[in-house]
Structure 1
Amino acid sequence: MFTGIVEELGTVVAIEDRGSDARLRVHGALVTSDAHLGDSIAVDGVCLTVSELPGDGTFAADVMPESLRRTALGGLVPGARVNLERALAVGGRYGGHVVQGHVDGVGTILRRDPGERWDEVEIAVPPPLARYVAEKGSIAVSGVSLTVTHVGDESFGVSLIPTTLEHTTLGGLVVGSPVNLEVDVLAKYAERLLTAVAR
């Protein structure tokens, strides 16, 4: 489990296309400093399992077909910056919200309105996910825990504070950029329970 509080901006070193799946190699000195094989690291909000740790500040992870279908990881290129977060340690600070690293779909940056020290951003949401997005609710955008400022029929808005702009990839995204979206898992469970009761 993660909290959506990005610990480090990593850099994609290589992506090995293996046909239906891929192997991703990322440099992240902080997240690899205490990592072990089999640990979970969120890369742009996608929970990946560490499969190699060569000891040079990089790690490798296998990206399965499901992750390539549902996320924007397949579009990464060497040199791309990515948001990195280690799994939450027991007793650690819980600064964001419940983030599983199970991305639900890909959104698109529709608009950026810069403020004095912040940006207002509008993001298109895939129609099947729109019902889970609520004003003042939580959403993970490329692994960053954000509060929804407003909701439209096919999009939602967020405000990016200076820390988010400086320390995550969201500061450099432009109109048209894809972003990984993970909606609040509590909303999905509530819907599932209510559907089961109605049957």
Structure 2
Amino acid sequence: MFTGIIEATGTILAVTPTAGATRITIASPTLTSRLATGDSVAVSGVCLTALSIEPNAFPPRFSADLAAETIARTTLSGLQPGTIVNLELPTPAGTPLGGHVVQGHVDGTGTLVALDPVTPAAPEATDWRLRLTIPNALTRYVVEKGSITIEGISLTVAAITGNQVEVAIIPHTYAATSLRTLTPGSPLNIEVDVLGKYAESIQHRDAFILTEQYLIANGY
């Protein structure tokens, strides 16, 4: 499990198609030495398995394979060498949750509409306003003041109108994540709050049970 609190950014060194999957190689001087083969790591919101870990290379690096499902649902197969990605290691049991429950299971991709400084005269100290569109099928899980994960970052929904979502970005988040490298039109990995999906599942199950009980009670 992750919490959406980005620990470091990494740089894509290579995207290599193979016979069975696509392998990405990421330079990460901060996190590589903490990884062991088989460990989970969230890469821009996608839970991957660390492979080919080289802490003594220059720069230190690790790789991960993208399965067909990952390629279909996320933006990772479109990465290019030099792209900045957000990185987070799993949260140990008993650790306080700094963000919210993030699985690293991307629900779909959105598109950046705009990322504007609230105070343009102070770009290094200002808050930012991020606007994006998300797939219509995900809008029912997004509520004002609720949580959403964008590129692996735990964020709070400021507003939602139709399929356009707006979030506030504090200066630290802007400076410490890949958001500062994005431009309008950039694709974004989106994970909605899993608690909303569970609530919907329970509601549907309860409705089914009540309908079944009604039919039985009335001799159908």
Which is further off, 89-98 or 171-180? 89-98
Q: For 1:136, which of 122, 137, 145 is the aligned residue?
A: 145
**Secondary structure of 2:158's aligned partner:** strand
Quick one: which amino acid aligns to residue 26 of structure 1?
I
Alignment partners' CA distance in 2, 1:19 and 1:118 = 45
State which of 144, 147, 163 in structure 1 corresponds to 2:172.
Answer: 163
The TM-score, its normalising length taken from structure 2, stands at 0.87
C-alpha distance 65-147 of structure 1, shift in aligned 2 (>3 A): same
- State the identity as a percent: 45
Give 1:137 deviation, angstroms.
0.3
Residue 19 of structure 1: CA displacement?
5.8
Matched, 1:51 2:48: no
Q: Distance in 1 between matches of 2:3 and 2:103?
A: 8
Largest Rg, 1 or 2: 2
- Mind listing any 5+ residue stretches in structure 1 that lack a counterpart? none
Amino acid at match of 1:95: G
- Report the Cα offset of residue 118 of structure 1: 1.3
Q: Which residues in structure 2 correspond to 1:39-188 (within 5 Å)?
A: 39-55=39-55, 56=57, 57-116=60-119, 117-188=126-197
In 1, are the aligned partners of 2:112 and 2:131 still within 8 Å (CA)? Answer: yes
Determine if contact 2:2/2:103 at 8 Å carries over to the other structure: yes
1:119 Cα deviation after fit: 1.2
How far residue 54 of structure 1 moved from its aligned partner, in angstroms, is 2.3
SS in 2 for 1:53: strand
Deviations along 1:49-96, one digit per CA (max 9) or x if unpaired, are 012212332111111010111000011001110000011122333211
The unaligned stretches of length 5 or more in structure 2 are: 120-125, 209-220
Check conservation: 1:129, 1:183, Cα contact below 8 A: yes
What is the CA–CA distance in structure 2 between the aligned matches of 1:79 and 1:195, rounded to whole Å? Answer: 45
**Cα distance in 1 for residues equivalent to 2:51 and 2:184:** 34
Determine the C-alpha separation between the residues in 2 that align with 1:196 and 1:21: 37
Q: Does 1:16 align with 2:23?
A: no
Aligned to 1:26: 26
Task: Count the aligned residue pairs.
Answer: 199
Q: Is the 8 A contact 1:68 1:74 kept in 2?
A: yes
Deviation at 1:111, TM superposition (A): 2.1
Contact 1:135 1:150 in 2 (8 A): yes
- Is residue 14–residue 78 contact of structure 1 (8 Å, CA) maintained in 2? yes
Letter paired with 1:119:
W
For the aligned residues, what is the CA RMSD?
A: 1.2
The answer on whether the counterparts of 1:32 and 1:59 sit within 8 Å (CA) in structure 2 is: yes
Code of the residue aligned with 1:12 in structure 2: it is I
Is residue 190 from structure 1 mapped to residue 199 from structure 2 by the alignment?
Answer: yes
- Residues 141-175 of structure 1: CA deviation (Å, up to 9, x unaligned): 00000000001111110011100110001122111
Matched residues in 2 for 1:104 and 1:188: separation?
11
Name the SS for the 2:12 alignment partner. Answer: strand
CA distance in 1, matches of 2:179, 2:96: 23
